[in-house]
Structure 1
Amino acid sequence: MPLDGPSLLNRRSLLVGGLAAGTVAALPAAASAATRGHGRALPTTPFTLGVASGDPDHDGFVLWTRLAVEPLAESGLGGMPDRTYPVQWEVAADPRFRFVVRRGTASARPAAAHSVHVELNGLRPGREYWYRFKVERYVSPVGRTQTAPHPATYGAALSMAFVSCSQFEHGYFTSYRRLAEEQPDLILHLGDYQYEYRADTYTIPGGNIRDHHGPETETLAGYRQRHAQYKNDVDLQAAHAAAPWLVVWDDHEVDNNWADEVYENPQTPQPNFLARRAAAFQAYYENMPLRRTSVPRGIDMQLYRRVRWGRMADFHMLDTRQYRDDQGCGDGYRDCPEATDPQRSITGAAQEKWLIDGFRRSGARWNILGQQVFFAQRDNNAGPLKVTSMDAWDGYVASRDRITKGWLDAGVRNAVVLTGDVHAHWASDLKLNYDDPTSKTVGSELVATSISTGGNGSDSNPADHSFLKINPHLRFYNNQRGYVLTKIDKSEMKADFKVVPQVTVPGAAVHTKATFVIEDRVPGLNQTYLRPVEPAAAARRSGDGTDDIADIVRNETERP
């Protein structure tokens, strides 16, 4: 059989069931650290944080792991001895590793919190692969990944999911587990992968379900420890092992609502903010499957980048935090003249030029922006006064207009914006002029709810939602937890808005709340399915939904 032959086992049963460390055939024997004079052997498996892959290309991807025998160690170094460990890795064409196509050794160094990033190329395009690591006598869980199609081909239909906002304290990561069971080809995480608060600072009604360990993250040790606490969650590990990821941050990976070199609340001085930002960037790189082009340099980190999935899709992954102007008018929801200042930007000039140049050069069927905050206008005032969020693109109207016109001028075939941040599912038509309902539709926005942030949330009938009545281009809203699963082919992009009924108790089932289709060359959304509100859920809600705007504004702005 050729090395890139079909898999020998059902991949879902293999990955979702989990291959615990040491349960697969061992990698080639290697001398232990103890026998080579480096000290005692590790007392337990160091693969407590799982494995991951990311940034796939047509001939390779990044493999990641991080060694930690005590994930919550206060030093942030996972209880690992202060020495470098050789880490063996293997990539195979089958999940039982009968057909190994590449193997090698990488170094896990204390200076990088014993993280490992392996960048591979020279593999075949559009193929599944499996990978694993070994240190001393310990073998990691197995991860599944894949390469993108060849740049000259479309490849098979792409199954892509995107997620955001996983607050450890607010609930279990059930949606990560259900996402792993979907076995997508690609997963996008659009920010708020972790939260910075100390325990019981950011709470939900009834109290948090579990606690953050350690103080608010401000130091390198603190950010490393917090990442390890999140990575130690088995549901998150399952999602990482199921498919390659494309990651970008939002605010909570550093500090709530930070903007470039400005921290959240200037009235409360943070003289160490730039050191905090550098520490957060370092820990983020150490804990994500990113290429060496994203290695931080002090307070700077190159995170915006472009990933091509054959001719099917160009993914433009944006960074709307590191280069933005400070939020206008004191942040929050405001009627704010600064929002329309043409000099203000949410991306910075260099990233904006990079994005528009990418539109001009793209020959992809679908141009997809993976980014953080709400793109479409979202006015919460039914009267003539416009009241919008200064933390979203509404606070940077000229920046949004330039990018929208950029894809129109470039003749982009299908523009789709993917968004996180707001802890609810939304879907929207994108307009040239949001104040004119008859204005031309020029694209679509899909917004993923949170994995857990905000607790269980609630079901509702979108037809009753006040935001949708004020903003006719907003087509859908749901306040439960979950993710969005898409299927992309040459003729359409189908988006299933997946939800779980609760996250305060583990193990909930997932179902599709609504489905939208975007047809090739037809901007805008067609709703093809909407699951009715459960009678019990409807009974729990008060009124007809007219209080939703106040609830949303409160949830999005009243953070500690």
Structure 2
Amino acid sequence: MTTSRRTLLAAGLGAGLVAAVPGIATAAPAASRGASLTGDPFTLGVASGDPWPDGFVLWTRLALDPLAEDGLGGMPSRPVQVSWEVAEDEGMRSVVRRGSEIARPESAHAVHVELHGLRPGREYWYRFRTARHLSPVGRALTTPAWDETPAALAMAFASCSQYEHGWFTAYRRLAEDQPDLVLHLGDYQYEYRAKSYVSGDGNVRDHEGPETVDLPTYRLRHAQYKTDEDLQAAHAVAPWLVVWDDHEVDNNWAASIPENRDAGQGNDTDERFRRRRAAAFQAYWENMPLRRPSAPAGDRMRIYRRVQWGQLANFHMLDTRQYRDDQLAGDGWDKNVAERWDPARSITGAAQEKWLLDGFRSSTARWDLLGQQVFFAERDRAQAPDVDDVSMDGWDGYAASRERIVRGWQDAGVRNPVVLTGDVHRHWAADIRADARDPDAPVVGSELVCSSITSTGDGSGATTDPMMAWNPHLRFYADQRGYVRTRITPEAMTADFRVLDRVTVPGAAATTKASWVLEDGVRGLQRRG
């Protein structure tokens, strides 16, 4: 499946439309057809997501002035009718579906279109229109039929794009690889006010507005990120599966518990933090190509879900923030914290854990992939055998919870379990052992960790971390920005760790730092380049 350079360039121009959130009143005056809009409303790009065999979600959000302080994109306070069309060719000559939606001010003029009736395993193109204004063209794919095993899937995954720390060139390079599917594993945007989070290389651009604490500021921050042409290109090239981590709300949050009790950040009481979280969830919904079951209900929003790529792959997309017990030891690294093995502690919550284990038992796919946020394999900074020094923010801080998941895929006979991870701003590849405390335990799965798109700046270029010497299951490390490109076939999954030399200047080339392969039915990573 291919996408022409014209489609990729068009994706950098902008676009916008999304449907009213369920639960919001829909009674409204007759919608304007956009004739009185004085400028281009498609400044935030187009996107597709959450595909299924006969359709996918289409997204856009209208914004005449994306950086308007009230977060409403400079749009008039009235509904606007937006039409859409889907074609079998990128020139939009062979149109197979048409329709219209109402972009409403109460949802920041965002609309989600959930399409059905298309053919499985096919490539389509789409665009939006309001009056004389036409959006760029995006590309989307339906998944194969449930019982079909396709020859291959090109999938890329990324995380951690701090706008101030660099240019989003890695998103452009990802788009140029023309994947069939993109996973974003969290920290899509960051909540900080300008210059409060400075990388070691210095910030190259600034956030607009204060720290995000309410609906206007979260809407503004999402809009600022969406104006980036490289990000728009990545959204337009293929459907996305998105999950959040912490910065979409607040650094290191857990369940209803904020990182700190700063009244200026809306965190001084649990009630104020719940209001902050509800605002963040609403803005996230308005700006992502998600299905209606993921629409927020106040400060609750279900984003864990499963997408099946025929019989080739199951994608189990997790939420390791909203239901976790509070982090131990102040969220950071600490030594010999016995409570991390407490079986009552969970990073997923009981309902999500049951959903995941049930998914393992019912899976008939060749590959089962967990799209999730924080480091899964054990990372112990202490060389002494009787000391452990691990991060309380990752699965190491919830070790019994991790053991139940690992045991669950073994008990279910999952054929090829692979964990996909973001968060840590470095590339890693790791094997997962049946017992994290026993270095001689058998390998029962593997983990691929993508670096950041920009977060923490250019990076040192280092290709080893000292702890790898006494953590032999940690197989690969690279401190540069980038993403992971994969090719999944019935026989193998190949992961190319893509890196950019610099993100503090725009336009850097992407190269493959290393390639690792997982063979069907064979436990453990094998290096191929």
Q: Quick check: TM above 0.5?
A: yes
Alpha-carbon offset, residue 461 of structure 1: 3.3
CA contact (8 A) 1:460 1:479 kept: yes
Aligned to 1:556: none
* Counterpart check, 1:258 vs 2:253: yes
Aligned partners of 1:21 and 1:139 also within 8 Å: no
Other structure's SS at 2:424 match: coil
Aligned partner of residue 54 in structure 1, secondary structure: strand
Aligned residue in 2 for 1:273: 273
Q: Which residue of 140, 151, 173 maps to 2:135?
A: 140
CA distance in 2, matches of 1:468, 1:302: 36
- Alpha-carbon spacing, 1:20–1:228, altered in 2? closer, same or farther (3 Å): closer
Please say if 1:367 is aligned against 2:368: yes
Structure 1, residues 86-136: CA drift from partner, whole Å, max 9, x if none?
Answer: 000000000011110000000100011000100001110000000000011
Aligned to 2:311: 311
How much does 1:226 deviate?
0.1
1:304-326, Cα deviation, whole Å (9 max, x unpaired): 00000000000000000000000
**Preserved CA contact (<8 Å) 1:22 1:139:** no
Query: What CA distance in whole angstroms lies between the structure 2 residues aligned with 1:108 and 1:243?
Result: 23
- Selected match of 2:416 from 382, 393, 414: 414
Deviations 1:268-297 (A, max 9, x none): 752211100000000000000000001100
Q: Distance in 1 between matches of 2:245 and 2:110?
A: 22
Cα deviation, residue 254, structure 1: 0.1
Partner residue, 1:30: none
Tell whether the 8 Å contact from 1:22 to 1:138 is kept in structure 2 after alignment: no
5+ residue gaps, structure 1: 1-6, 24-34, 530-560
Aligned length: 508
2:346: which partner in 1? Answer: 345
What is aligned with 1:453?
A: 455
Does 2:11 correspond to 1:16? no
**Structure 1 308/38 Cα, relative in aligned 2: closer, same or farther at 3 Å?**
closer
**2:492 aligns to what?**
492
1:186 to 176, 181, 190: 181
Contact kept in structure 2, 1:340 and 1:398, CA below 8 Å = yes
Q: How does 1:39-118 map to 2 (within 5 A)?
A: 41-118=36-113
| CA distance 1:505–1:39, shift in 2 (3 Å) | closer
Give 2:24's aligned residue. Answer: none
The 8 Å contact of residues 250 and 321 in structure 1, kept in 2 or not, is answered as yes
The letter of the residue matching 1:315 is: F
Where does residue 223 of structure 2 map in the other structure? 228
Q: What's the counterpart of residue 289 of structure 1?
A: 289
CA apart distance, 1:13: 1.5
Q: Which amino acid aligns with 2:364?
A: G
Match of 1:378 in 2: 379
Q: Is the 8 A contact 1:63 1:117 kept in 2?
A: yes
- Does the 8 Å contact 2:13/2:43 carry over to 1? no
Using the size of structure 1 for normalisation, the TM-score is 0.89
List per-residue Cα deviations over 1:486-527 (Å, max 9, x = no partner).
000000000000000000000000000000000001111001
In structure 2, how many angstroms separate the alpha carbons of the residues matched to 1:371 and 1:206?
A: 28
Mapped partners of 1:174, 1:127: distance in 2: 28
CA distance in 1, matches of 2:14, 2:362: 47
C-alpha displacement of 1:437? 2.0
5 Å-filtered alignment, 1:386-535, equals 386-462=388-464, 465-529=465-529
Partner in structure 2 of residue 175 of structure 1: 170
Match of 1:537 in 2: none
**Partner of 1:200 in structure 2?**
195
SS at match of 2:106: helix
Structure 2: runs of 5+ lacking an equivalent: 16-29
Aligned pairs for 1:144-163 within 5 A: 144-163=139-158
Deviation at 1:460, TM superposition (A): 2.1
CA 21–175 in structure 1, closer or farther in 2 if over 3 Å, else same: closer
Q: 1:332 to 1:42 in 2, by over 3 A?
A: same
The 1-side partners of 2:377 and 2:231 are apart by 30
Q: Partner of 1:428: helix, strand, or coil?
A: strand
Aligned equivalents of 1:451 and 1:120: distance in 2? 30
- 3-state SS, counterpart of residue 524 of structure 1: coil
* Superposed displacement of residue 435, structure 1: 2.8
For 1:256 and 1:91, the matched residues in 2 are separated by 39
**Segment of structure 1 superposing worse, 200-209 or 499-508:** 200-209
Q: Measure the CA separation in 2 of the matches of 1:338 and 1:471.
A: 22
Structure 2 contact 317–372 (Cα < 8 Å) conserved: yes
Of 431-440 and 69-78, the range deviating more from structure 2: 431-440
Q: Please give the alpha-carbon distance, in whole angstroms, between the structure 1 residues aligned to 2:34 and 2:333.
A: 57
Change (3 A) 1:200 1:22: closer
- Cα deviation, residue 265, structure 1: 1.9
CA-atom RMSD, angstroms? 1.7
Contact 2:160–2:454 (CA under 8 A) maintained in structure 1: yes
Residue matched to 2:18: none
Partner of 1:549: none
1:331 positional shift: 1.4
Matches of 1:37 and 1:441, distance apart in 2? 60
State the secondary structure of the residue aligned to 1:458. coil
Give the counterpart letter for 1:424 in structure 2. R
Name the SS of the counterpart of 2:528 in structure 1. Answer: strand
Distance 2:332 2:32 in 1: 58
Range with greater deviation from structure 2 (149-158 or 170-179)? 149-158
Work out whether 1:300 is the aligned partner of 2:300: yes
> Match of 2:268, as an amino acid?
Q
* 1:64-88 Cα deviation digits (max 9, x unpaired): 0000000000110000000000000
Kindly provide the amino acid, as one letter, of the partner of residue 476 in structure 1: F
| Distance (Å, rounded) in 1 between the aligned partners of 2:55 and 2:40 | 28
Task: Tell me if the contact between 2:185 and 2:421 (Cα under 8 Å) persists in the aligned partners.
Answer: yes
Matched to 2:288, the amino acid is M
SS in structure 2 of the partner of residue 351 of structure 1? helix
Instruction: Answer whether contact 2:32 2:81 (CA < 8 A) is retained.
Output: no
Instruction: Indicate the SS of the match to 2:525.
Output: strand
Contact 2:186 2:245 in 1 (8 A): yes
**In 1, distance between residues paired with 2:414 and 2:74?**
50
* Contact 1:329-1:338 within 8 A present in 2 as well: no
**1:239 to 2:239 alignment:** no
Give the residue type in structure 1 aligned to 2:499.
V
Q: Please tell me whether the aligned partners of residues 34 and 80 of structure 2 are also in contact (alpha carbons under 8 angstroms).
A: no
SS state at 1:11 partner: coil
Query: SS where residue 321 of structure 1 aligns?
Result: coil
The percent identity for this pair of structures is 62
Question: Once the 2 structures are TM-superposed, how far is the Cα of residue 267 of structure 1 from its aligned partner?
Answer: 7.5
Residue 78 of structure 1 aligns to a residue whose secondary structure is: coil
Aligned to 2:357: 356
Distance apart, 1:22 and its partner CA: 11
C-alpha distance in 2 between matches for 1:174 and 1:140: 22
CA deviation string 1:231-283 (max 9, x = no partner): 00000000000000000000000000000000012487522111000000000
In the alignment, residue 516 of structure 2 is paired with which amino acid? F
In 2: Cα distance, 1:256 partner to 1:404 partner: 27
Give the match's secondary structure for 1:472.
coil
**With structure 2 as the length reference, what TM-score do the two structures score?**
0.94
How far did 1:207 drift? 2.3
